[in-house]
Amino acid sequence: MPFSLDPRLAADTLFAAQFRLCEVRVMNDARYPWIVAIPRVPGAVELFNLSPQDGQQAWAEIQALGRLVGDLPNVGKVNIGALGNMVRQLHIHIVGRLEGDPAWPGPVWGHSPTQPYGPDEAVALIEQVAALARSF
């Protein structure tokens, strides 16, 4: 079975880059620097569904993406999570948070309606992710 992206992930995110294991996308919500890493492993729902080698690769990519988000301006904390309650396909959220952001201190999921990026607003974050993928 080939890898295919869940339609909801495709609809809610913007493509940024292909890493060795993960397709990396930016959540289309301008309130938070929010990256989603989707391991290209057909049928994977949980992190423990990955082979040991893929698990190590996923973690290396998640750590690098976490550092990228953590180094962005106005990020005081990075939240990393793989919930999968709404979308079963394994995907890992890497979210930059700042005390006082719209959802602080609670989770960003379901807090309020998203605020999609305007034209070209997500370009800088997408370019940073793509540059990281090239150097990874």
What's the pLDDT tens digit per position in 12-63? 999 999 999 999 999 999 999 999 999 999 999 999 999 999 999 999 999 9
Spatial distance between the Cα atoms of 35 and 45, rounded to a whole number of angstroms: 18
Distance CA 43, CA 124 (A): 32
Residue 119 preceded by cis peptide, ω within 30: no
Structure confidence at residue 58 (pLDDT):
98
CA distance 18 to 24: 6
Considering just the CA atoms, what is the radius of gyration of the chain in Å? 14
Report the candidate in 110, 19, 11, 100 with the shortest Cα–Cα distance to residue 63: 19
